[in-house]
Chain A
Amino acid sequence: MIRFRALLEKELLDVARNRAVLLPVAIATLVFLVLPFVIAILIPATTGDSLGDDAGLARVSLLMGPHENLSTNGRVQLFIFQQFLIVFLLMPVTGAMALAAHAIVGEKQARTLEPLLATPLTTLELLMAKVAGALIPTFAISTVGLIAYALIIAGSAETGVLPAMLNPRTLVLVLGVGPMCALVSLQMAVVISSRVNDPRTAQQFGVLIVVPVTALVIGQVSGALWLSGRALALVALGLFGAWILLTLFSVALFEREAILTRWK
């Protein structure tokens, strides 16, 4: 644990000294913080058209349940904010991907990997610290964004929208699906980083990992994919299991020798 903590400290210090690497995550968070408000609040306020007047939106928003205490307009707002919540939670993963993809191959390129591997640090500790090092900064940003998201909803949406959002499903999304999806994606990126010999290749593979995440996001936003709280909990559990398996797999795949002797 001490060794894991030590390497994690290095990862966090490294990111703190190179804050520009977090800029894409911050920009993505900001965009997905602003976008739902533009759609749900700003455009209707500017055009004078109520969201509740859109029959298609009103119908699809019923997926959320009747929510009789809300007007049709409020229910559509709730639907939009709820849909964007998952986008908001998953987008930082794309930014963290760059950090995770660079994790091992970056150390190798900087010639810092060999002294590191000569310490008692185990492969599991190394890989876990690398994943956590990519995850923590991006999650810190998205947590700040999440608080801002809730505050802006409270201040600008119809009364009752925020309390309606604070339900077990949201909780599962925020505390389960989001972090688990990030863990799986980043673990996969670290595996790739330990198998390729060039950061650009790792980055390209990282883009591929983001594809299923993006598909999930598009499905959510379009309303084509609606998962209940229970279904989301199962997804989170499945992702957790996948992460454990992937972690064990990544330890087995990590070849110290090949990394040291074959990579140039």
Chain B
Amino acid sequence: MIAARGLSRSFGPRIAVDDVSVEVAPGEIVALLGPNGAGKTTTMRMLAGLIAPSSGSVTIDGVRLTRATGSTLRSRIGFLTEAPGLWDRLTVRENLRIYAGLYSLAHPDAVIRSTLETFGLEPYAATRAAELSKGLRQKAALARALLHTPDILLLDEPTSGLDPEIARTVRGMLADRRRAGCAILVSTHNLDEAERLADRVAVLHTRLLALDRPAALRQRLTTGRVLARVAGDAGAYLGTARGFDRGATIEYGAIVLTLSHADRETPTFVRALVAAGADVLEIRPEVPALEEVYLHLMADEARVATVPS
């Protein structure tokens, strides 16, 4: 497990990261969301032991990441940087071979062979990195980050700029690593990806604005609006609906009402509709997308920032 406690980092007078605490457990994917300049890369670098925090600490399975422990702990981390950072004049295989040496792998050839196979890079093994497409470079960089089978993965925008097919492959690989027990922190701008991939989402804007499961985050903005579609004339059941919400209306042939405790009241409402003789086709609570939650958090943060102290 990798854990950050009260992590802060300043560059001169500018605070890049302020008091961030986050844990990523084995077999868990946490997505780090935030606008440009929110401190995502700085946080990743601190977690990777590349830069030291101004205050706070990073621990890996209880061992604090310091200058003295850095070299040993870094061998347990796979770090995908924002740029693929492959050596252009070297082939894909050579790039991997050098990194196999840097991680002191015992059987580099076998590991490289299996990694190339896993990532579908065998046809490009002898191709120089400079000649690869952007997607293949990203795949090769990801292969490099996973070469030493790290139990912690830090990935800075792993699918940025990739076509949907390769992005999906990458997501599949990350899901595989999660199943293998890897603790994965992914920084991304792609909210849809975060929602589909991550067990928990951390929203960062210098400080941590939220850290929770995507569903729980969405729940925060849940309005209690429920849409009920019934067979036949919906207006015939509007009275039943108004027993729950006086403002219930018909929109596009469906009953729309707001329940103050949607979780508890929705089953009661459904039973009332059925009792009134309605054939219920669909009941859909209105749940905001993660994007709305994210934008809401950012808007809140902007309001806080502009309020004079």
Report A's interface with B, CB cutoff 8 A: 2-3, 5-7, 9-10, 13-14, 17-18, 110-122, 256-257, 260-261
Contacts and interface: CB of A to CB of B under 8 A. Distances in A.
B125 to A, nearest CB: 15
Interface string B70-106: 0110110101110101111110001001111111100
Interface residue SS majority, chain B: mixed
Contacts of A118: 48-50, 74, 77, 79, 81
A204 B116 CA distance: 42
Given A256-B51, A257-B51, A18 B89 contact: yes
Given A7-B98, A119-B102, 6 more contacts: A13-B94, A14-B89, A116-B102, A118-B81, A119-B74, A120-B71
Given A2-B104, A3-B104, A115 B85 contact: yes
A123 B90 CA distance: 23
B101 A3 contact: yes
A112 B89 contact: no
A133 to B, nearest CB: 12
Contact of A120 (B51, B104, B145): B104
Interface residue SS majority, chain A: helix
Nearest to A5: B101
A116 B120 CA distance: 24
Contacts of A17: 89-90, 128
Contact of A10 (B45, B71, B87, B103): B87
B11 interface: yes
A202 B285 CA distance: 63
14 contacts: A6-B97, A6-B102, A9-B97, A9-B101, A111-B85, A114-B83, A114-B85, A115-B141, A118-B77, A118-B81, A119-B75, A120-B102, A121-B102, A257-B51
Nearest to B83: A111
Contacts of B71: 120-122
A14 B91 CA distance: 11
A10 B89 CA distance: 10
By Cβ-Cβ distance, the 3 closest A-B pairs, closest first, are A6-B101, A17-B89, A118-B79
A5 B108 CA distance: 14
A50 to B, nearest CB: 52
A121 B98 CA distance: 12
Contact of B102 (A7, A13, A111, A113): A7
A17 B94 CA distance: 12
A116 B81 CA distance: 10
B102 A256 contact: no
A79 to B, nearest CB: 44
B141 to A, nearest CB: 7
B50 A117 contact: yes
B81 A111 contact: yes
Interface in B33-88: 42, 45, 48-52, 71-72, 74-75, 77, 79-81, 83, 85-88
A257 B77 CA distance: 18
A3 B102 contact: yes
